[in-house]
A and B are shown apart, each in its own frame.
Chain A
Amino acid sequence: MGIRKCSTHATGFGAVTTALTLLFLVLSCFWATRAQAIAAFSREYKTECTTCHTIFPQLNEFGEAFEKNGFIWPGAVPLSKKVKVAQTEEERKSAEFIHLSGIPATLPLSASLGVSYLYDDTKEDDFDQKFFSAQILSGGAFGGDRIGFWFNESLGNQDTTRTNSLSGPSQVYFIARHPLGIPVHLKAGRFSPDLSLWKTSLSGRLISMGANIDGFTVTGAQSGLELSSFLGPRVLAVVGVNDRNNSADAKNPHSVNDVYGRVGVKIGGADYHGKEPDVDLDKDSVWDYLSVSLSAFGYSGSSSKGDGVDHDVTRLGLEAGVNYKKLLLMFGATFGDNDQSAGWGVAADKDTELKSTALSAEVNYVFNAKYAAALRYDYLDVDGKDLRTIVTPAVIYAPLQSFKLRLSVAIDSNPTSAATDKAESNTTASLSATLSF
Chain B
Amino acid sequence: MGRTCGLKAFFVAATLCIAWSPLAAADLKTVGSGDAMNFDPSGFRDDMKPKFEIMKVKCVKCHTMERTIVAIKTGVAPISGQPFDRSATKAYGVKMLRKPDSEMNKEQVKAVVDLMNYLLDEAAR
Interface residues of A (CB under 8 A from B): 45-48, 50-51, 54, 60, 62, 73, 75-77, 82, 84-85, 87, 269-270, 275-279, 281-282, 284, 288-289, 325-326, 366-369
Contacts and interface: CB of A to CB of B under 8 A. Distances in A.
A77 B82 contact: yes
A85 B63 contact: no
Interface string B85-115: 0000011011101101101001001100100
Given A87-B70, A276-B91, A325 B80 contact: no
A84 B110 CA distance: 31
B101 A368 contact: yes
B95 A54 contact: no
A266 to B, nearest CB: 14
Contacts of B76: 85, 87
A412 B82 CA distance: 49
18 contacts: A50-B101, A54-B100, A62-B95, A73-B80, A75-B82, A76-B80, A77-B82, A87-B70, A87-B74, A87-B76, A270-B98, A276-B98, A277-B94, A279-B98, A281-B113, A325-B100, A366-B100, A368-B101
Contacts of A84: 81
Q: DSSP majority for the B interface?
A: helix
> Chain A CB within 10 Å — which of B76, B79, B80 has the most?
B80
A279 B97 contact: yes
A276 B94 contact: yes
Nearest to B109: A281
B62 interface: yes
B41 interface: no
A282 B110 contact: yes
Interface string B15-38: 000000000000000000000000
Instruction: Among B70, B81, B94, find the residue whose CB has the most chain A CB atoms closer than 10 A.
Output: B81
Given A54-B100, A276-B95, A48 B81 contact: no
Contacts, number: 69
**Most chain B CB inside 10 Å of its own CB: which residue of A48, A62, A275, A281:** A281
Nearest to A46: B79
A225 B81 CA distance: 32
Contacts of A325: 100
Contact of B78 (A62, A87, A270): A87
A410 to B, nearest CB: 26
A276 B109 CA distance: 14
A359 B68 CA distance: 45
A47 B79 contact: yes
B63 A48 contact: yes
Contact of B98 (A50, A51, A269, A284): A269
Nearest to A283: B106
Contacts of A275: 91
A284 B106 contact: yes
Contacts of B103: 368
Contacts of A51: 79
B54 to A, nearest CB: 14
B100 A46 contact: no
Contact of A45 (B63, B79, B100, B101): B79
Contact of A48 (B62, B70, B82): B62
Contacts of A270: 95, 98
A387 B100 CA distance: 37
Interface in B41-97: 62-63, 70, 74, 76, 78-82, 90-91, 93-95, 97
Contacts of A282: 110
Contacts of A369: 62, 101
Given A50-B101, A269-B98, A276-B91, 5 more contacts: A54-B100, A62-B95, A85-B76, A87-B70, A366-B101
B100 A77 contact: no
Contacts of B91: 275-276
Nearest to A276: B94
Contacts of B94: 276-279, 281
B98 A77 contact: no
B81 A281 contact: no
Shortest Cβ-Cβ A-B pairs, 4 listed: A77-B81, A76-B80, A368-B101, A85-B81
A75 B98 contact: no
A63 to B, nearest CB: 12
Contacts of B109: 281
Given A288-B98, A366-B100, A281 B82 contact: no
Contacts of B110: 281-282
Nearest to B98: A289
Contacts of B82: 75-77
A84 B76 CA distance: 10
Nearest to A327: B100
